[in-house]
Structure 1
Amino acid sequence: MASPYGNHQILVASNRGPVSYDVREDGELQAKRGGGGLVSGLSAIGPDRGALWVCSALGDGDREAVARGVGEDGVRMLDIDAEVHADAYNGIANSVLWFVHHMLYQTPLEPVFDKEFRRQWASYEEYNRAFARALADEAAEGAVAVVQDYHLTLVPGMLRQLRPDLRIGHFSHTPWAPVDYFRLLPDDIAEQVLRGMLGADRLGFLTQRWASAFTACAQELVGGLGDTRVGVHGLGADADFLRRRSHEPDVAARMVTLREQIGEGRKAIVRVDRTELSKNIVRGMLAYRQLLEDQPSWREQVVHVAFAYPSRQDLAVYRDYTAEVQRVADEINSAYGTPGWTPVLLHVDDDFARSLAAYRLADVALVNPIRDGMNLVAKEVPVVSDEGCVLVLSREAGAYEELGEDAIVVNPYDVVGTAGALHEALVMGAGERAERTKRLAAAATALPPAQWFLEQLRELEG
């Protein structure tokens, strides 16, 4: 493959890296490697480019690896003070910036930007500064640095000051808040975030909607984009990997178990999510309950297969949300279940093979986030589906821009409307379902992960 960026060194910066470590009982370190678009992209550029991934040590195993000098080629793990990291990651990135961009605040009571917030913001600055310094130290002359996500919004500006010779990009994997909501942030903090981002040569977003929202914020709060370019790269599903992985023996075994749990002849409404507040799992269950109430003929004929994998359980609001998901599922099963039929099949333990099994047998996929940067589940299900699957999709998912035409689109707050959409999906004929699935799969795989990453590099060099 010809290189799109000449001989420049490539650096990636993200909170989570491509590898993590656990300390085994015998004291040895065990490495666990991750996947995803960035891993695919970096592997696609070849081994001769001096690629380096700068990431944070996230747990005791990672910190021990740094202390022992253990590491992977091409990875530099930063042992940032644990309290600083907690303030930056949980206090600011996940409890402030995430909430702003997903518009999740209950504004009569929150946010409250007090002295504690300012203390945590100082940690966020320190955390970003550690990344900027590491990138500046490691980068060769004229290297390309691609910074990832809302955890590291200040890095481009800091790095620009340290190394003006570098080509700097930043990619946002979340939505971007509209101007009025972004202005919930204190004025100086909002400006600092924007100017930090605008230190980049180029900013990437998952959809035009999010790119336009950022541009509007920059125009309103700091007078425009300056010399920074903005682009859109809609990350797609990795079709080759998904199709291969979904036909391995462990997935086949889980399909047998799921079919037994669902029951012979019943249809399956499937959702696979982390229990993040934005995913709207509770309203999805309430819509399913409304379906059973409005359309009694579906009782004992359909099962809601809900995989809700725990996320950010160190934050109380996420623990409470996870508990509410369980409570609503139990309530539905208690109200409607019979000796031979469990209406909601809820699993909370993460199992990728089981998720793929559910993708393959789903009749309907429910993807109804309140707000989502993209939502790859919406793209993965059509690729893996054995016999075609109807996609019920929130208009607030980034994937809506690419998939909305062949999905049944819902307002994620409208439980009655979503119940109606589920009924429409369940009664759709096999021919139309198969045709829609084929078109959805084509759109979902238009920009696979490696190409998504290389396209950003190409544009950054342009």
Structure 2
Amino acid sequence: MASPHRANVLVASNRGPVSYSLDEDGGLEAKRGGGGLVSGLSAIGADADSLWVCAALGDGDREAVRRGVGETGVRMLDIDASVHAAAYNGIANSVLWFVHHMLYQTPLEPVFDAEFRQQWEDFRTYNRAFADALAAEAADGASVLVQDYHLALVPGMLRELRPDLRIGHFSHTPWAPVDYFRLLPDDIGEELLRGILGADRAAFLTRRWADAFTGCCAEVLGGTGSTAIGVHGLGADADFLRARSHEKDVDGRMAELREQIGGSGDRRTIVRVDRTELSKNIVRGLLAYRELLDTRPEWRGRVVHIALAYPSRQDLTVYRDYMAEVRRVADEINSRYGSADWTPVVMHLKDDFARSLAAYRLADVALVNPIRDGMNLVAKEVPVVSDLGCALVLSREAGAYEELGRDAVTVNPYDVSGTAAALHEALTMPDAERAERTERLAAAATALPPQQWFIDQLHALAGATD
């Protein structure tokens, strides 16, 4: 049944712009989120009649739905918790994420068995709930922007329900090359591709990922049909970052970090800021830093690695094990090299945006070495925020490499020795060169800020359906 709301612009994503938690008295507390989608949707104006459809992710969210608590312009779906868990953790994060980031240890995994097939049914159910909600909420001819691998089946399902809609799908991850994509069972791979091709337009963060998608479509389906393919490289929000990074709480975090760095103010800093996600390659980054200290003893006592490694997906065993290994390697480095007045690795594991911005401002070198990344906004944010200029050591497997690679020190993310050499090169880069590179990096990083990124997709979707 159609909703009386009848929105003209709709966004669908697993996570929405607001979340709810239950306080001690059973009341609901709302917390607003951030990010490119939140900024982007705000750019279309309050009179655009927009709606964000998202999933209830926790007990607070589910209780808010049941009580009828919500925000104007947001519809939260109370999908059965077991269905959501199977779709989100069982398929999206344990299969699709692993395929697109090429993370499987193939002698042992993946195993596509009866349990996988049941989880896939739940993934369909989860996607169907979104398609049904969007079909009910959309005005005639409305524009719908479906986000990411969690909702890859939605465009095809929605197309069957509402052929009048303008449907776009955006992938925030890499896309697997065809040989790796075909690890998936043939019918599942075909269903995924046809799901996205239900959109009028499928868009990606880089040309590389778009080409990988079209390559899979050519191999599996014989082509992309009538679906247009686009590229929109999400950039950093320079105005927001520069203002936020000079607020009082960030200054306080800078003072704390300076105290932890120690010395007389002349120690150099290598900074990384990541979720402790398997694809972020934190362990090899630490091993490269250890090799730098091994092979370049002149840096002992003169450099500190600030590693902000925020927990991610700790409900999955493999992620808990990875977090434990990150901590073990950091502790081993500190035990081997640390002294009374020098801690080689300063690690923080609690997510703290103000601390992240403080680290950006203090960074002499930013280490961004993912195994594979759709974009990696950290690589774009550090040059924007850096106080004195920052050399960027960047993996060639990050989507950001397409825009920033010319002015970064590039590394193969698997090459620990090569990364150690790159860290030395970055630490010894002349100040004038570092400042010039930072200026060019910041310009490239902010070329398509979130608001324009979103508007461009809407305009391109309109063109794709004319």
TM-score normalised to structure 1 length = 0.98
For residue 277 of structure 2, what is the aligned residue in structure 1? 276
2: CA distance, partners of 1:59 / 1:422: 41
Shift of 1:427: 0.6
On the 8 A contact 1:234/1:447 being kept in 2, the answer is yes
Letter in 2 for 1:310: P
Give the alignment of 1:146-295 within 5 angstroms.
146-263=145-262, 264=264, 265-295=266-296
Deviations 1:74-107 (A, max 9, x none): 0000000000000000000000000000000000
Task: State how far apart, in whole Å, the 2-side matches of 1:41 and 1:293 are.
Answer: 46
Alpha-carbon distance in 2 for matches of 1:155, 1:254 = 42
Q: CA deviation at 1:64?
A: 0.2
Contact 1:359 1:384 in 2 (8 A): yes
Q: What is the Cα deviation at residue 8 of structure 1?
A: 7.8
Q: 1:257 Cα deviation (Å)? A: 1.0
Which residue is 2:304 aligned to? Answer: 303
Report the equivalent of 1:435: 436
Code of the residue aligned with 2:203 in structure 1: it is G
Distance (whole Å) between structure 1 residues aligned to residue 7 and residue 455 of structure 2: 13
- 1:44 partner amino acid: A
Aligned-pair distance for 1:193?
0.1
1:143 counterpart SS class:
strand
Distance 2:47 2:306 in 1: 46
Distance 1:345 1:44 in 2: 38
- Identity among equivalent positions (%) equals 78
Q: In the alignment, which residue of structure 1 is the partner of 2:125?
A: 126
Q: Corresponding residue for 1:322?
A: 323
**Structure 1 396/228 Cα, relative in aligned 2: closer, same or farther at 3 Å?**
same
CA deviation after TM superposition for structure 1 residue 40, in Å: 1.1
Q: Which residue of 2 aligns with 1:60?
A: 59
Q: Which letter maps to 1:303?
A: V
**Structure 1: which amino acid aligns with 2:295?**
D
Residue 115 of structure 1 corresponds to: 114
Distance 1:315 1:8 in 2: 37
| Offset at residue 39 of structure 1 (A) | 1.0
2:202–2:229 CA contact under 8 A, matched in 1: yes
What is the RMSD computed on CA atoms of the aligned residues?
Answer: 0.8
The CA distance in 1 between the partners of 2:354 and 2:217, in whole Å, is 43
**1:182 corresponds to which letter in structure 2?**
F
Runs of 4+ in 1 over 3 A off after TM superposition: none
Q: Find the residue that maps to 2:139 and give its secondary structure.
A: coil
Q: Is the 8 A contact 1:382 1:438 kept in 2?
A: yes
Q: Distance in 1 between matches of 2:42 and 2:275?
A: 27
Counterpart of 1:142 in 2: which secondary structure? strand
Counterpart Cα distance in 2 of 1:35 and 1:355: 15
Confirm or deny: 8 A CA contact 2:7 2:50 kept in the other structure: no
Q: CA deviation at 1:70?
A: 0.4
Residue in 2 that maps onto 1:4: none
Q: Are the counterparts in 1 of residues 7 and 51 from structure 2 also a CA contact under 8 Å?
A: no
User: Residue type of the partner of 1:133?
Assistant: D
Q: For residues 73 and 286 of structure 1, what CA distance do their matches in structure 2 show?
A: 48
Deviation at 1:41, TM superposition (A): 1.4
Q: State the partner residue of 1:86.
A: 85
TM-fit CA distance, 1:178: 0.1
For 1:413, the equivalent position in structure 2 comes to 414
Where in structure 2 are the equivalents of 1:346-365 lying within 5 Å?
A: 346-365=347-366
The residue that corresponds to 1:450 in the other structure is 451
Distance 1:23 1:383 in 2: 37
Name the CA distance, whole Å, in 1 between partners of 2:39 and 2:71: 16
Is 1:16 equivalent to 2:15 in the alignment? yes
Say if 1:8 and 1:142, in contact at 8 Å, map to a contact too. Answer: no
Gaps of 5+ in 1: 1-6
Structure 2 CA distance, aligned partners of 1:168 and 1:71?
25
* Alpha-carbon displacement from aligned partner over 1:242-288 (angstroms, at most 9, x marks no partner): 00000000000111111111122100000000000000000000000
Shift of 1:26: 1.7
1:410 CA displacement? 0.2
Once residues 458 and 304 of structure 2 are traced to their aligned partners in structure 1, the CA distance between those partners, rounded to angstroms, is 44
Counterpart of 2:382 in structure 1 is 381
1:144 aligned partner: 143
Change (3 A) 1:315 1:150: same
Which residue identity is paired with 2:313?
R
Aligned-partner Cα distance in 1 for 2:420–2:44:
46
SS at match of 1:9: strand
| Greater displacement, 397-406 / 27-36 | 27-36
| Code of the aligned partner of 1:152 | L
Give the structure 1 partner of residue 393 of structure 2: 392
The corresponding residue for 2:31 is: 32
